[in-house]
């Protein structure tokens, strides 16, 4: 079977996340790498972020990571986090986010502000499963366990731990594509 493309989405550093959140991101990155799957994330040019932390952890664990960035610049490339940088040519704030989510088989949300909300809404619209980590605040927590609208497409799944999140992510893809 092919490797899954698992997106990690969540807060950027300007949202001031805790050490505990950072550790959670590290754990998720490591688990994705160990599962033999691919980690996809939004590569930022200015801020660190939980997704970038997860990507660095995945790289450290010999995983394959793909950063999707905005605009043109391949200068965002950082060999500690990314194997490949794809430059969407689209602005951040909706455009880059769309190319990222559209390229994922499933996404895992860790906390997160408006960008994460945007990405969860995209995933829902595209029928891509979303795994939300509970207990970490942000949109990732608020949307855990609910449908985003009356169409009741795919419920945002709720995970209590990084381990459960990665496991649910892998299962959700397999179930989603069996349909």
Residues at the site binding its own copies, with contacts judged by CB under 8 A: 2-3, 5, 14-16, 38, 64, 66, 68, 71-72, 74, 77, 79, 83-95, 97-99, 101-103, 105, 113-115, 117-118, 121-122, 124-126, 138-139, 148-151, 153
87 phi and psi angles, rounded to 5 deg: -95, 105
Q: What is the DSSP string of 91-123?
A: -TTTHHHHHHHHT-SEEEEES--HHHHHHHHHH
7 phi and psi angles, rounded to 5 deg: -85, 140
Least separation in angstroms between residue 25's CB and its own copies is 18
- Which two tokens mark 1? 């079977």
From residue 132, give the alpha-carbon distance in Å to each of 60, 84, 121, 157.
24, 26, 13, 6
Least separation in angstroms between residue 164's CB and its own copies is 24
Angle at 104 between CA 161 and CA 162, to 5 degrees: 10
Least separation in angstroms between residue 99's CB and its own copies is 6
The terminus-to-terminus CA distance of the chain in angstroms comes to 17
Whichever of 38 and 165 has its CB closer to its own copies, that residue is 38
Whichever of 27 and 153 has its CB closer to its own copies, that residue is 153
Across-strand partners of 40? Answer: 7, 66
Least separation in angstroms between residue 79's CB and its own copies is 5
Least separation in angstroms between residue 116's CB and its own copies is 9
Whichever of 109 and 163 has its CB closer to its own copies, that residue is 109
Whichever of 78 and 164 has its CB closer to its own copies, that residue is 78
Whichever of 171 and 176 has its CB closer to its own copies, that residue is 176
């Amino acid at each position: 079977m092919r490797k899954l493309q698992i997106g990690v989405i969540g807060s950027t550093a300007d949202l001031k996340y805790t050490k505990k959140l950072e550790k959670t991101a590290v754990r998720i990155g490591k688990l994705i790498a160990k599962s033999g799957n691919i980690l996809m994330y939004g590569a930022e040019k200015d801020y660190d972020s939980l997704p970038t932390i997860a990507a660095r952890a995945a790289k450290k664990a010999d995983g394959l990571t793909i950063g999707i960035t905005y605009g043109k610049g391949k200068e965002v490339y950082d060999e500690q986090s990314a194997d490949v940088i794809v430059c969407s040519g689209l602005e951040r704030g909706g455009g880059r986010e769309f190319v990222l989510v559209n390229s994922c088989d499933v996404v895992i949300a860790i906390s997160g502000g408006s960008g994460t909300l945007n990405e969860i809404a995209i995933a829902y619209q595209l029928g891509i499963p979303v795994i939300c980590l509970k207990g970490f605040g942000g949109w990732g927590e608020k949307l855990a366990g609910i449908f985003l609208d009356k169409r009741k497409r795919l419920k945002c799944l709720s995970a209590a731990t990084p381990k459960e999140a990665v496991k649910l992510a892998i299962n959700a893809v397999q179930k989603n594509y069996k349909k």
